[in-house]
Amino acid sequence: MNRLQDENRPSDTPEPLVSLQARGTDVRDALSDLFSQAKQDFVLSPQVKGQIYLTIQNQPLTVALNAVCEAADLKYARRGTVYYVQPLTGGAAVTRAELSEKALLAKPVSLNLRGSDLKAALASLQKQTGVPMRLAPNAPNLRLNATLQKVSLQTALNAICSGTGLEYRWTGSGFEIKRSELAPVVSPSRVVTLQPPTGVESQLSAKPSPIRSIPPSTGGIPCPKCRYALQKGWKYCPMCGAWVKPITE
């Protein structure tokens, strides 16, 4: 793939050699490092973001730039003496942008929790799936017990939210765990034992902790799974986590 649009570059000008070692480095910092080594002016689009892993030793600047852009779905152009870097408008970048919420929820995960706090659990889910996970400021950082083996991200999130007074929502770029407006939140001083749906392979803690149950409500649109009353515009049932967007749109 040709990622370079080069204008007014003298053909007989030798390229500076650059090196880069990135281990989860912010791509903006990596590009800044390359251009600083080459003593070149550059402009980065605000949409340039992500982390990269690569090693480059004493390579021409364009070779290094192509490697970084390939790793981060970027492209660049040289106009005069200034390099401009921005995201690709097609190809892999579009494919990633169009990944559906449902596809992300189907990603496989495992959790091994022994009194771990919720932030640590979300960090583990994020590391396994690459999907940003965030605990809302108003949500308690509960301590959790459970081992979930090779379940979907949706199952894990449902287990975390079920009976704790929490719910998760898609933010457009990841998932956020927040307080539910319809259910009381479990005290953060308790250690909650996750209760995965029936049939899901799991190993619960040897020291179970009771979870407050919330009976189905009446009125509204009933959830097809737990019969909880749903409101217009909801994507998930806040009680059982079922996908309900088709009936609440």
How many Cβ atoms sit within 10 Å of the Cβ of residue 84? 15
DSSP secondary structure code for residue 236 in this structure: B
Q: What pLDDT, on the 0 to 100 scale, is given for residue 172?
A: 74
CA distances from 82 to 11, 77, 104 (A): 16, 8, 38
Domain boundaries 4-97, CATH class: alpha beta
* pLDDT per residue as tens, the chain (249 positions): 445 555 445 455 688 899 999 888 899 999 999 999 999 999 998 888 888 888 999 999 999 999 998 888 888 998 888 999 998 865 444 445 445 678 888 889 988 878 788 888 899 999 998 888 999 888 888 888 877 888 889 888 988 887 778 899 888 778 899 888 766 666 665 566 665 555 444 433 323 333 333 444 445 778 787 777 777 777 777 666 677 777 877
Q: What pLDDT, on the 0 to 100 scale, is given for residue 85?
A: 92
What is the three-class DSSP state of 104? helix
Closest CA to 74 of 89, 54, 96: 89
Identity (one letter) of the amino acid at 117? Answer: D
For CATH 3.55.50.30, list the domain ranges present in the chain: 4-97, 108-213
Q: What pLDDT, on the 0 to 100 scale, is given for residue 38?
A: 92
- Which run of H or E residues covers position 57? strand 51-60
Q: What pLDDT, on the 0 to 100 scale, is given for residue 43?
A: 93
For domain 108-213, give the fold. Phage tail protein beta-alpha-beta fold (3.55.50)
Q: What pLDDT, on the 0 to 100 scale, is given for residue 6?
A: 52
What is d(CA 241, CA 161) in angstroms, rounded to the nearest whole number? 8
Q: What pLDDT, on the 0 to 100 scale, is given for residue 169?
A: 87
What is d(CA 200, CA 158) in angstroms, rounded to the nearest whole number? 12
Q: What pLDDT, on the 0 to 100 scale, is given for residue 34?
A: 94
Q: What pLDDT, on the 0 to 100 scale, is given for residue 5?
A: 54
